[in-house]
Amino acid sequence: MSLTLKKQTNIALSFFLIAALVGLFLRFLFIANVAVNFKYLLHTHSHVALMGWVYLAMLVLINKCFFKPNKNQKHYRYIFTFTCICVIGMLLSFPFQGYAAISITFSTLFLFASYWFYWFFIKYTPLEKKQLQAYRILKYALIYMLISSIGPWAVGGVMATLGPQSVWYRIAIYFYLHFQYNAWIILGLIGLFIYILENRHVVIKQKELRYFLLLFNAGLILTVFLSILFTEPHSIFYGLSIIGGALQLISLYYLGKAIPDLKTSPRSIFSPLEFTVLQWSLVLLVVKFMMQFFAGFAGVATLINAYKNLTIGFLHWTFLGVISLSLFVLLSHFKLIRLTNKSVYFYAVGFVLTEALIFWRPFTFIFDIDLAIPQFTLLFIASLLLVCAILILMLMQFKKARQKDV
């Protein structure tokens, strides 16, 4: 039985559902006393969500866009299968031991799997595809994916020498997350969107796109310093972070200028529901870059360091909002999932409520608001809505299972 792209998408969605269920259970632990290791489950949740859902979905989309269905697919399926084994290994080991021999082994193998895919992409992308602007963007994105892996390698060295309490441990983790959330995935999604436009013969202005990449890349490097602001470094690092955030905001302007028919062409390419979700993804992306810009100011950085929920809220904003919504649109566009009004409604309500509740607690302290709410119970209910949305997507997949595969 061949592992078609629809089946691969179902696997990625299954990992998303598992990650959401683990996240729901983590919310439940705040309202009930259950004897489990919270930290171990948190590691499971984050690894399966990022590597099982986002990474595998990105692989499926890149394969769909850049490789022919009957060429090099056997090699690609080896990469996909090996990556799935790595994710399953992490899923079955992190809940019971956290960072230990087995989980570290599978995490390390996953890094090698990502290197393998980068090599595959560079080597086997057809020559005509390499002429596309989208290829250029995806190549940058995958290079940043490789750079992000420096973080996990550094974590091992820090734990063996300085220990997990060292500031270098947090810096290594933040370094990895920065180049994952802010570089490889975001730039990869933009590249896939540009590919769809190019495939529909929408003219992309090369000069403006070069400005976008120049400003985005420069801003990305400078915003690395956001990862060290919790150490209260010299004021120059705050300044560099602010400049980096400003450059990335400006880069979005040039990205819009690079697509002259931005207001009309996507509307004719995507379905009405896809277009609506895409618009919200763009709004969330702009807000995300605004958050990064303001995070460079000393006063805001101090608040972020003092209130962990601000960081958690930002990560969820990026993962559940910008990234996952964009993946829904792209997968739906290529007929790999069926996006429905009901699934989008449940997901949107769950996302808005979880973000509001996560940010609520630090805001009550910051602005001295004396208004108690059952935050943890409401967070559990909001997270349940997200699980329901993913379940609906999965059920729609099963409903169409007998139809012809990709």
SS (H, E, C) the chain: CCCCHHHHHHHHHHHHHHHHHHHHHHHHCCCCCCCCCHHHHHHHHHHHHHHHHHHHHHHHHHHHHHCCCCCCHHHHHHHHHHHHHHHHHHHHHHHHHCCCHHHHHHHHHHHHHHHHHHHHHHHHCCCCHHHCHHHHHHHHHHHHHHHHCHHHHHHHHHHHHCCCCCHHHHHHHHHHHHHHHHHHHHHHHHHHHHHHHHHCCCCCCHHHHHHHHHHHHHHHHHHHHHHHHHHCCCHHHHHHHHHHHHHHHHHHHHHHHHCCCCCCHHHHHCCHHHHHHHHHHHHHHHHHHHHHHHHCCHHHHHHHHHCHHHHHHHHHHHHHHHHHHHHHHHHHHCCCCCCCHHHHHHHHHHHHHHHHHHHHHHHHHHCCCCCCCCHHHHHHHHHHHHHHHHHHHHHHHHHCCCCCCC
CA distance 238 to 123: 40
Q: What is the mean pLDDT of residues 31-59?
A: 93
The answer on pLDDT for 25 being more than 90 is yes
Quick one: tokens of 231?
Answer: 């150490």
Query: What are the pLDDT digits (tens) for 205-241?
Result: 999 999 999 999 999 999 999 999 999 999 999 999 9
Q: Mean per-residue pLDDT for 60-78?
A: 90
pLDDT at 372: 75
Q: Is 70 exceeded by the pLDDT of residue 259?
A: yes
248: number of Cβ within 10 Å:
24
Band the pLDDT of 180: cuts 50, 70, 90: very high
Where are the domains positioned within the chain? 270-406
- Given this model, what pLDDT does residue 334 score? 95
Q: What is the structure's pLDDT at 70?
A: 78
Give me the mean pLDDT over the 278-283 stretch. 94
Length of the chain: 406
Check: pTM over 0.75? Answer yes or no.
yes
249-283: buried (b, 16+ CB within 10 Å) or exposed (e) per residue? bbbbebbeebbeeeeebbeebbeebbeebbebbbe
**How many angstroms separate the CA atoms of 398 and 337, rounded?**
10
Cβ-based neighbours of 127, under 8 Å, separated by 6 or more: none
In terms of Cα–Cα distance, which of 61, 67, 70, 129 is closest to 335?
Answer: 61
The model's confidence at residue 402, banded by pLDDT at 50, 70 and 90, is low
Q: Is the pLDDT of residue 286 over 60?
A: yes
- Report the share of the chain in percent with pLDDT over 70: 97
Q: What is the mean pLDDT of the chain?
A: 91
Burial of 403 (0-12, 13-18, 19+ CB in 10 A): exposed
Contact at 8 Å (CB) between 175 and 147? no
- Residue 75, class by beta-carbon neighbours within 10 Å (0-12 exposed, 13-18 middle, 19+ buried)? middle
**Is residue 404 very low, low, confident or very high in pLDDT (cuts 50, 70, 90)?**
low
